Amino acid sequence: MKKILITGEGSYIGNSVRDYLLGEPDKYSVDMIDTMNFEPKASDFSGYDVVFNVAGIAHIKETAENRPLYFKVNRDLCINIAKAAKEGGVKQFILLSSMSVYGKVTGRITKKTRPAPINAYGKSKAQADSAIAKLAGKDFRFACLRPPMVYGRDCKGNYQTLRKFALSSPVFPTYRNQRSMVYIGNLCEFVKQVIDGEKSGLFFPQNSEYVNTSDMVSRIAKANKKNIRLTSLFNPGIKLFPVNVVKKVFGSLTYEKVDTVSKYSFADSISLTETGECVKKKAAEMRILATCQYGWPEPYPSLYPMEEMAKRGHYVHAVTGTPNYPMGDIFEGYRNRRCSEDHNGIHITHVPVIPRKKDTVHRLLNYHSYPVSAKRYLSHMKGEYDVVFANQSSPVMMVEPAIAYAKKHNKKVVMYCMDLWPASLCVGGVSKDSAVYRFYYRISKKIYRQVDVLMVTSRKFRDYFMNEFGIPGEKIAYLPQYALSAFDNIPETGEKSTTDFVFAGNVGTAQNIGVILRAAAIIQKNDITDNGRQIVFHIVGNGQELDSLTEYAKKENIENVIFHGRKPPEEMPGYYGLADAMIVTLLPDPLISLTLPAKVQSYMAAGKPIIASADGEIPDVISESRCGFCAKADDEHELVKAVEKFLAAPDRKTMGENGRSYYAEHFAVDKVMDKLEKILEENCK
């Protein structure tokens, strides 16, 4: 049992978190302390595992007279509480800060955004955050929560202003904006997850959905059975009078989509706030159990299909490993123990794994640790799910927990194959004649035959599974990958002095990026240009081959290749905008050539021409779509010729448009997800 002390008795958020945690009295013991005229001492905190500090002043108008009080309470008192807690042996200190530290009325905030407070409230909070962060260490974990607007039943603040409009006004502007907000129930769940995971770092707890002000007002009115008409008549006035009050109501102010919680949907949160009851659910809602060794916050697409299912109203619980991919170290803010969090509408449980590190032994241990850990966790779960979705990459053993759960509870497994096993081992140098290959062949055959539906990302996978493992064709379904919506709108670039080719994605062995460097060296040596403009290659991504490729480029004096490293999703459209064409490369392997990497769909959705060095499925798709040129795999001279063909082409823009049209017809998100939803529904039990 964890002993928790909440400093700031009488606080709305503090009381809500206390009541939420005490819903599990066998897990948590919660005390509260009044901080009025409080002089904290180490003995006040002795015996507590966690301190959640909500002490502070807010929701009062700032004046010259009360300004010093903000710093006395929000800064000095909080710092003194943290110091005393650390001295008293507290292991985790959670501070309730605020979005106000950024001083923004409109805009987008990421974890790289620097605080720039504009009032005493924001300044006092920012100074407390900074000072307490300096106290953090191995034995004193510091979690700083900067929630956006909090709302809930009986909560003070801006929600009450919007509520008055909803209940008293017959009309309200219908205006397109987005704002990050957090329902009190979701905030309580997030605090619980921080405590359970013993997390540290900076967090932006928020609903999984951005909120539109007009939609919120409409829902409040509807929950109270009031009629309110939304109209665009006021929109010109809203744009003409960008004063702070108008900006606060109708401007867009969002956090990047991190630290999201979806325990309560936006619709339910408004209904609970106004009536105390949830919205009635559709009878057709599925409860989906999803398994995959990798997933958010790792840069891996395994959970994207499940996020789409959550958007469609289905409940998804995903079981993944502790985040450590691709570099092999446990992510900052996580500990290698079981913990849960919510992201983009799905509930995620991370189970402990042995980190990949960068050597063969650790990778092997990592491969086998997830199925053991996940099976142990799932063995205690009830048969409350309708269907199991297993996303399979490397290793294939990550599907074993899904099969074990399905067998125990008489459910069906729908598997999505992203990586062929044991064929993928050959990429790492394992011989087909070796004992290792034969061992994993037997495991792979058993797993592939046990699942109920085997979905493949490439049409060429179908023949492989039928011929290699004797799997019936009717058990195999083609479900291509799709691009992220963030790549739909790519910014235009102005005049440039270079012609730019961009590779975006994992920098691993199978991607064979060395062929790009060798082609770049030839282009540099032969002074090949685009009508005088220098040709530059950009590698955007991270992975196990990045260091060796960087060293190779340095050793060979290749100056027309730039390594950008891994970039967050919100920055990727800028690199797509930079590109005159995108690049995809693969090893010249007969099995790897069967794959169609997801980057191809992203490139097409972005409307960018594609230059490739690959065999098999990729040249087929490029030829069918007429969106670019493809060279043989691992042939730098052929790749240079493909680049030259592109440079000589009069219809570069048309190639990009062809790719986008092909994407819309074959890979559009709605079409792919309609098919997945149908497959899952057909396999519910």
Secondary structure of 35-53 in the HEC alphabet? Answer: CCCCCCCHHHHCCCCEEEE
The pLDDT value recorded for residue 522 is: 96
The 3-class SS string of 568-628 reads CHHHHHHHHHHCCEEEEECCCCCCHHHCCCHHHHHHHHCCCCEEEECCCHHHHHHHHHCCE
Kindly state the greatest CA–CA separation across the chain: 82
What pLDDT was estimated at residue 460? 83
Answer yes or no: CATH 3.40.50.2000 is held by domain 287-482+671-682: yes
What are the C-alpha distances in Å from 277 to residues 62, 191, 219?
A: 36, 23, 14
pLDDT above 60 for 394? yes
> Residue 242 pLDDT > 60, yes or no?
no
Q: How many residues in total does the chain contain?
A: 685
Determine the Cα–Cα distance for residues 240 and 231; give it in Å rounded to an integer: 17
- Tens digit of each residue's pLDDT (9 = 90 or more) over 276-328: 876 555 545 899 999 999 998 888 878 889 988 988 889 999 999 999 987 88
Q: Quick one: which H or E segment has residue 216?
A: helix 213-223
Average of per-residue pLDDT across 408-426: 90
Is the pLDDT at 497 greater than 50? The verdict is: yes
Those residues whose C-beta lies under 8 Å from the C-beta of residue 162, and which sit 6 or more positions away, are: 213, 216, 217, 220, 249
What is the C-alpha to C-alpha distance for residues 569 and 361, in angstroms, rounded to an integer? 31
Q: Which of 20, 227, 201 is nearest to 97 (CA)?
A: 201
pLDDT digits (tens, 9 = 90+) for 317-359: 999 999 998 788 889 888 888 888 888 888 999 999 999 888 8
Tell me what pLDDT residue 241 has: 62
For the cut 60, the answer to whether the pLDDT of residue 486 exceeds it is no
Q: How many CB atoms within 10 Å of residue 75?
A: 22
488-667 falls under which CATH superfamily?
Answer: Glycogen Phosphorylase B; (3.40.50.2000)
Strands 413-417 and 453-456: what pairing?
Answer: parallel
Give the span between the Cα atoms of 21 and 206, in whole angstroms.
Answer: 19
Residue of 619, 597, 310, 611 whose CA lies nearest to 480: 597
In 319-455, which ranges are continuous DSSP H helix?
A: 360-378, 400-409, 423-427, 435-450
Alpha carbon separation from 411 to 285, 405, 447, 682, 685 (Å, rounded): 16, 8, 16, 12, 6
Query: Phi then psi for 49, rounded to 5 degrees?
Result: -85, -35
Q: What CA–CA distance (Å, rounded) separates 160 from 144?
A: 26
Mean pLDDT, the chain, whole residue set: 89
User: What is the pairing mode between strands 206-207 and 260-261?
Assistant: parallel
pLDDT at 13: 94
Pairing type for strands 610-613 and 628-631 reads parallel
Can you give the pLDDT at residue 278? 66
Strand positions, DSSP E, 232-375: 253-255, 260-261, 287-291, 315-321, 339-343, 346-351
126: tokens are: 């920012």
Alpha-helical regions (H) of 58-154? 67-70, 78-87, 120-133
Q: Which residue has the higher pLDDT, 591 or 198?
A: 198
Domains 1-146 and 488-667 share a fold: yes
Residue with tokens 């066998």: 26
Tokens matching residue 332: 């900052």
Residues 42 and 87 sit within 8 Å (Cβ to Cβ): yes
Q: Kindly write down the DSSP assignment for every residue of 358-372, as one continuous string.
A: TSHHHHHHHHHHHHH
Fold of 1-146: Rossmann fold (3.40.50)
Residue with tokens 């790719």: 659
Angle of helix 636-648 relative to helix 514-525, nearest 10 degrees? 60
- Alpha-carbon span 363 to 356, nearest angstrom: 5
Structure confidence at residue 57 (pLDDT): 85
Cα 384 to the chain's mean position, in Å? 26
pLDDT at 262: 81
Give one word for 541, left, alpha or beta, with left for phi > 0 and alpha for psi -120 to 50: left
- Give pLDDT tens digits for 6-37: 998 889 999 999 999 999 988 999 999 998 88
pTM: 0.58
Q: What is the pLDDT of residue 484?
A: 59
Residue (of 389, 258, 265) closest to 331 by Cα position: 258
The span from the CA of 537 to the CA of 515, in Å, is 12
**Which residues neighbour 410 within 8 Å (Cβ) at sequence distance 6 or greater?**
383, 685
pLDDT of residue 520: 96
* Least confident residue range of 83-87, 312-316, 483-487, 565-569: 483-487
pLDDT tens string 510-525: 899 999 999 999 999 9
Place of tokens 């219809």: 651
Amino acid at 312: R
pLDDT for residue 302: 84
426 close to 419: Cβ distance less than 8 angstroms: no
- Report the DSSP beta bridge partners of residue 630: 612
Of 309, 191, 202, 208, residue with least CA distance to 263: 208
Q: Is the pLDDT of residue 476 over 70?
A: yes
Mean pLDDT, to the nearest integer, of 231-253? 72
Q: Is the distance from CB of 351 to CB of 322 less than 8 angstroms?
A: yes
Distance CA 462, CA 456 (A): 7
With a pLDDT cut of 90, the percent of the chain lying above it is: 58
Label residue 189 by pLDDT band (50, 70, 90): very high
Q: Which two tokens stand for residue 252?
A: 């867009």
| Amino acid type, 623 | S
CA distance linking residue 50 with residue 141, whole number of Å: 9
Which residues of 411-541 form beta strands (DSSP E)? Answer: 413-417, 453-456, 476-478, 498-504, 534-540
Query: pLDDT value at position 283?
Result: 45
Cα atoms in the 13 Å half-sphere on the side-chain side of 183: 24
What is the residue extent of each domain of the chain? 1-146, 153-179+208-280, 287-482+671-682, 488-667
Each residue of 433-471: pLDDT tens digit? 899 999 999 999 999 999 999 999 888 888 889 999 999
Contact (CB, 8 A) for 232 and 176: no
Q: How confident is the model at residue 423 (pLDDT cuts 50, 70, 90)?
A: confident
Instruction: Evaluate if residue 570 carries a pLDDT over 80.
Output: no
